[in-house]
Structure 1
Amino acid sequence: MEQVRTAFRDECARLAKILPGLDAADLDRPTRCAPWTVRDLVAHVSSGAGRLVDMLAAPAPQRAEVDAAGYFGAAKFTPGVDAARIDSARRQARQRPGVPAVAADFARAWRATDEAVAAQPPGRLVRTRHGDAMTLTEFLRTRVVEVGVHGLDLAEALDREPWLTPTAADVVATLLTAGRSVPAGLGWDSLTLIRKTTGRLPHTERERRLVAESGFRWLSFG
């Protein structure tokens, strides 16, 4: 838990420093997560970062049924679920359109989650809005993925170098590879691994061949 919580805090604090420096034109930039603009994507990330507050206020399930890898299953990517996710972020973004409000909403969301997590006993279980019963640690791991990977999308949309923190990169990379070593010969650092395996960078022919020959299986988001 401490490793994952540190990664969540580090990555959220990094993004929280970026947002106040944006301007209105930045918020209107398109992102690779079409049809979202930067404004919409930040609203989505804010919602995801703050989701644990209500989950921890609800009764805990009796046992965990999925881990972080299982959470990112095909059911999260059905057309209906995707449409609801897209519309929710766009509605939230329209309600708080200015840079100060966007930055404040994100800061408030992630800090509320961090405080709520700190108050929980070891082994706390939660139930997600999709009905998944998970340990708190495993769900918080999915929040690191959300903030970290979408942080790459925001950096790209804003024409900035990726700001992914080392602690978050380690958590995300370990989840994507199930803790296994990447195939020999790829030579990827954690940032490259994350960008390649989540579709943020294309694979070269050589990379596809090495992965195929090794039989390596990445975590698939849907």
Structure 2
Amino acid sequence: MDLFTQSWTALRAAVAGLAEEDFGKPSGCAGWLVRDLVCHLVIDAQDVLITLATPESGEPTRDAVTYWEVSSTAPTGEDPLDALTVRLAAAYQDPALLAFHLDDVGSAAGRAAQLADPTARVGTRGQILTARDYLGAYVLEWTLHHLDLTAHLPAVPGPPPESLARARALLEQLAAAPFPAAWPDAEALLVGTGRRAPTAARRAELGALASRLPLVVG
């Protein structure tokens, strides 16, 4: 749960430090500009608030790893929900308003996470998780989207090392196999989720795992 706070705080700080022109640049998400990604983060923050306010009494059906649905089809940005995000982001017009909304809702989500009972059971997407596992799953979400945010903005600070390491561990559990130990955590996440195409040398290092990539989580 501490890593949820750390990764979310770092991501929000990175957005807060963006220049106005940065919002119009491409992100690491196919079909999305940085402003579209930031709008998606607002929706994510709302989801966190809704889930933490949705108590359940049943036994958990998912944990921090199995929370994620895995596909091999990379998003193109043309999905109806992805397209809706683009329209919502454009409606803000002034990037400062979008950044303010993320700070407002994102701060509330961060406070709710800090106040949550780790053992409490919450419901989302028809599943039940402990608050600890639900927030733990989001370390992967925040870290991947932090990498998306900085994909074409090299001057913007990236995710904390602890978040990268935990996100890699979650992805390796989803893959049921480790990525090459010599790979930096960010490289494993980018290649593993299809955000970066592996070179021939990288594919050779992946071995049998290469045929199972990308792991598109959602």
TM value normalised by structure 1? 0.79
In 1, distance between residues paired with 2:209 and 2:74? 30
In 2, distance between residues paired with 1:194 and 1:78? 14
Paired position in structure 2 for 1:46: 42
Match of 1:108 among 101, 104, 107: 104
Within 5 Å, give how 1:81-96 maps onto structure 2.
83-96=79-92
Task: Give structure 1 stretches of 5+ with no counterpart.
Answer: none
Q: Deviations over 1:5-49 (max 9, x none)?
A: 222222222233332333333212233423221111111022213
In 2, distance between residues paired with 1:164 and 1:105? 21
| Number of aligned residue pairs | 213
Match of 1:26 among 16, 22, 25: 22
1:44–1:89: 8 Å Cα contact kept in structure 2?
yes
In 1, distance between residues paired with 2:201 and 2:74? 32
The one-letter amino acid of 2:193's match is T
Match of 2:5 among 2, 9, 16: 9
Structure 1 or 2: larger helix share?
1
1:69–1:219: 8 Å Cα contact kept in structure 2?
no
Within 5 Å, give how 1:1-222 maps onto structure 2.
5-74=1-70, 83-128=79-124, 130-160=125-155, 163-178=158-173, 182=178, 187-212=182-207, 220-221=215-216
Task: Give structure 2 stretches of 5+ with no counterpart.
Answer: none
Secondary structure, aligned partner of 1:30: coil
TM value normalised by structure 2? 0.80
Secondary structure, aligned partner of 2:32: coil
| C-alpha spacing 1:61/1:206, structure 2 compared with 1 (3 Å) | farther
Q: Deviations over 1:138-190 (max 9, x none)?
A: 22123222221111111113344660111211220110112988366x51122
In 1, distance between residues paired with 2:58 and 2:50? 18
RMSD of equivalent CA atoms: 3.1
